[in-house]
Amino acid sequence: MSGFGLKIALLFCLLAAGPVLSGQEHIPPITLHTDQVPMKEVLGQIEEQSGLSFSYNSRLIDPEEELSIHVDQVSLEEALSILFKGQRISFEVVEQQVVLKRARGRKVKEEAVELKDSTVVVEVKFTLSGFVKDSRTGEVLIGATITKAGGAVGTITNSYGFYSLTLQREVEELICTYVGYQKDIRAIHSPENQSVHFSMEKELTHIKEVSIYSDELENMIRTIRSSEERINPESVRKMPALFGEKDVIKSLAAVPGIKFFGDGSTIFFVRGGGRDQNMITIDEAPVYNPTHLLGYFSTVIPDAIKDVKIYKGDFPANYGGRLSSLIDIRTKDGNMNHFGMDGSVGLLSSRLSLEGPIWKEHISFFASGRRSYITRPLQNWNPNINDLHFSDLHLKLNYNISSKNRL
């Protein structure tokens, strides 16, 4: 190669190395000693020491937020990672500017991760979980709402009164609300995985009678699934019944889309489906014969019911494969603190329920029985009838093994 060609090749190499050398300019170490100083002043000190300027959105960082920081002779990456600890903020040095932006990465624990030579992501992600119970009876509350203070992030308890809420930044308080109960607020002292349980007190408020003549509010309050309906056990007791015998299955007649056979029995059809396409479960156990006396009385004792859900389609994944409908019945767990008894005497049958603690706050029981006495009235009409009756017995034992396990 001639001397002129060698000079040309050397010139091209120097030009190509120019940007690399420029990108590796040394940034002086940072020293900060401030107490309760606005964020904009801290960033100003970093600008003076580093020779760089900051570029950011005021909605991402509050310039007036006061903070304290003490560091000696640290790199720009270390100073900014300490300054934005616990926040989802990343930065990148572009020419002579430090660009601050919201981080998009997902981390399980609080950590500082170097993405490039001049990029650090700092964020926190933790999970709060626990149970929501009635403070007097110890019964779990289904459908209670748990939210973080000052935000729209929240969740609801499942069929076991359990909730799990994952948050991505530090939260000071967790709020639990439930219809008919006082609001319960719990302080969260550290952003880490932990159990937070709620014990709700009933709210007794005496108000004047209010008449509502519009159904707009009812149209606004809907479940996540449009085909899901819920029946309150109290409303079942208030419904008129044949011979005073309250029946959960017959109360489904008030639900749109459910039609009963015209003979007064508990045979029902959902949205045109067959009678054999309906599944009834009690505490997740399928019930294949839910009726007595040719379908005129159901086997479910009203006093034992805590919650009833009706799915007319769009089933949850764990109930997949149902053809027409699912009736999910949840029964009482029993009072964890006090013994109680409830009973009634009717024209056709009598009921008696007992509940109470075996080991307070840990083990409780609930027992409910029903026995009919229709043989003698029928013998007056037909002496050939010897014995015609039905009986039901419901027993349930509830054991709280630990804060995370229950039997």
**CA dist., res. 232 & res. 150, Å (int):** 31
β-strands 391-399, 363-372: how paired? antiparallel
pLDDT value at residue 176: 93
- pLDDT mean by block of 10 residues, the chain; 407 residues: 54 44 61 86 86 77 82 85 80 78 53 42 72 89 88 85 84 86 86 88 79 59 61 71 71 75 67 75 83 75 83 71 76 87 81 88 88 75 74 87 79
Instruction: Work out whether the CA dihedral 378, 382, 386, 390 comes out positive or negative.
Output: negative
Q: Record the pTM.
A: 0.48
What is the rounded CA–CA span in Å between residue 168 and residue 124?
A: 5
Delineate the domains of the chain, giving CATH numbers in brackets.
22-123 (3.55.50.30), 126-200 (2.60.40.1120), 222-331 (2.170.130.10), 340-399 (no CATH)
pLDDT at 107: 42
Predicted local confidence at residue 214, as pLDDT: 63
> 84: which 2 tokens?
């934005």
Please give the single-letter amino acid code of residue 118. Answer: S
> In the β-sheet with 111-116, what is the strand arrangement from edge to edge?
53-55, 97-102, 89-94, 119-123, 111-116
DSSP three-state, residue 143: coil
**What's the pLDDT score for residue 203?**
80
Structure token pair of residue 227 = 């085909």
Asked if 280 and 327 touch (Cβ cutoff 8 Å), the reply is: yes
- Is 254 in contact with 240 (CB distance < 8 Å)? no
